[in-house]
Amino acid sequence: MKLLEEVQLKLVTSLQGKDLLTLLDYTSEEVQSLVELATQLKVITKAGKCPALLEGKTLGMIFEKHSTRTRISFEVGMNQLGGKGMYMHARDLQIGRGESIYDTAHVLSGYLDGIMIRANSHEMVKELAEHANIPVINGLTDIYHPCQALADLETIAENKGDLKGLKIAYVGDGNNVAHSLVVGAAHVGAHIVVATPPGYECDATIMAKAQAIAEANGSTVTTTHDPVAAATDADVIYADVWTSMGQEEEAAKRLEDFKDYQINDALVAHAKPDYMFLHCLPAHREEEVATSVIDGPNSYIFEQAENRLHAQKAVLASVLA
C-alpha cells in the first residue's frame, strides 16, 4: 500500500451527481478510478487525514432488509467525510404504508443530498432514481450489489497489484453479488469464471453485457457447472451464501443442489498457492465454505469487509462532492 506522502487524492469527477444503480452504467475508466480512489482514501483515513469533502451533506439511508456492513460502513463513511448518514427503515417511512415511489423521491430530494437504498426490488430502486433529483446509490437489490464489487476489487488490487489478467473464480449461486462481481471484473480486465449448479446460473443478459466489456479490456467472462474448472489456477476464489434473504423456504433444496459446490481444501488445492479467498459475508461455515478455508491463511474476508467503508467513501465523495 502507498505511503501517505505518495497519495494524491483524485475524485472521479465524471460521476458527480450521478446514480450508482449498477456498474454497467459506469465506464471501465470510472470503475478503475473508483478502486484507486478507495485505496487512497483508506491510506489517508488510517493516517487520520481523511478530508471533510462532504461537510454539510446528508445521505438518507433506506433499508428494506437487515444490514450490518452496509449500514455501518455508509454511516461511518459519511461521518469520516464530514457529512451525516441518516438511517431510515422502510417500515418507518410512509413508503412502508403505500406512499408512491414518485412522491417519496420528490419529497426526499428536497431534504437530502443523496439516497442510499438497500431494497428487495431493483425495479423499485430504478423508479426511485428516475424521479429523485439527487443521486441514488444501490446498497443492494435482488439483481445487483455494486458497492460490494468495488470493495472486492479494492481488496484484490491491494494484495495482488494490477487486476488486469488475474483469474477470479466465483463458485455458488448466480445472484446479485455474482452479477456485480462479473461486471466489475470485466471493467478492470480480470478474467472471471462463474461456476453454478444447473438452474442457478447468472442472468444471461447481464453476462452478455459483461462479456462485451471484458472483450474491450482484453479479458474473458466464462460460465461452467464445474467448480474444479473454475478454481484451477485461480488467483481469487469467491463464495456467497447458498440461501439469501427471502429464499429461506428454498433452503433445504438449495443445500442439496449446492452440496458439490462447497469451497473446501480439496477445491482450493486446484487454485494458485497464493490464492485469495473472499466472501461478502455473512457466511455459513461448513455450508458454502469450509471453516479451514474461511479462517485459513488465504482468507481476506475481514479486510474485504473493511474495504466496504473505503470503496463506498470513494463513491460518496465522487457522487456527492
- In single-letter form, the type of residue at position 202 comes to C
Q: How confident is the model at residue 4 (pLDDT cuts 50, 70, 90)?
A: low
Instruction: Return the CATH number at 314.
Output: 3.40.50.1370
Q: What share of the chain is helix, strand, coil (3-state, %, to 5)?
A: 45, 15, 35
Q: State whether 204 and 227 are in the same domain.
A: yes
Q: Which domain holds residue 226?
A: 148-304
Residues 78, 50 share a domain: yes
pLDDT at 2 over 60: no
User: Which residues are documented as binding site for L-ornithine?
Assistant: 176, 240, 244-245
- One domain for residues 196 and 136: no
Q: Closest Cα partner for 120 from 63, 81, 177, 183?
A: 63
* Residues 162 and 257 occupy one common structural domain: yes
Who wins on pLDDT, 247 or 142? 142
The binding site consists of 67-70, 94, 118, 145-148, 176, 240, 244-245, 280-281, 308
289, pLDDT greater than 60: yes
The reply to whether 270 and 312 lie within a common domain is no
Asked if residue 205 and residue 131 are part of one domain, the reply reads: no
Whether residue 258 is found in the same domain as residue 181: yes
Same domain, 155 and 140: no
Nine cell digits for residue 207: 453476462
Residue 30 pLDDT exceeds 70: yes
Whether 158 and 264 share a structural domain: yes
The predicted pLDDT at position 65 comes to 87
Structural domain tally of the chain? 2
Q: In the prediction, which pLDDT does 95 show?
A: 82
Catalytic residue list: 118, 145, 148, 240, 280, 308
| Cα–Cα–Cα angle for 141, 27, 16, rounded to 5 degrees | 75
Q: Are 277 and 209 in contact (CB under 8 A)?
A: no
Mean pLDDT, residues 90-109 taken together: 90
For residues 159 and 101, membership in a common domain is answered with no
CB-based contacts of 47-53 (< 8 A; 24+ apart in sequence): 47/4, 49/4, 50/80, 50/81, 50/313, 51/9, 51/81, 51/82, 52/81, 52/82, 53/11, 53/81, 53/82, 53/317, 53/321
For residues 99-108, average pLDDT: 96
pLDDT in tens, 172-215: 999 999 999 999 999 999 999 999 999 999 999 999 999 999 99
pLDDT tens-digit readout, 223-243: 999 999 999 999 999 999 999
Q: Are residues 206 and 313 in the same domain?
A: no
Residues near 130 by beta carbon (within 8 Å), at least 6 away in sequence: 105
Could you tell me if 162 and 294 lie in one domain? yes
**Length in residues, the chain:** 321
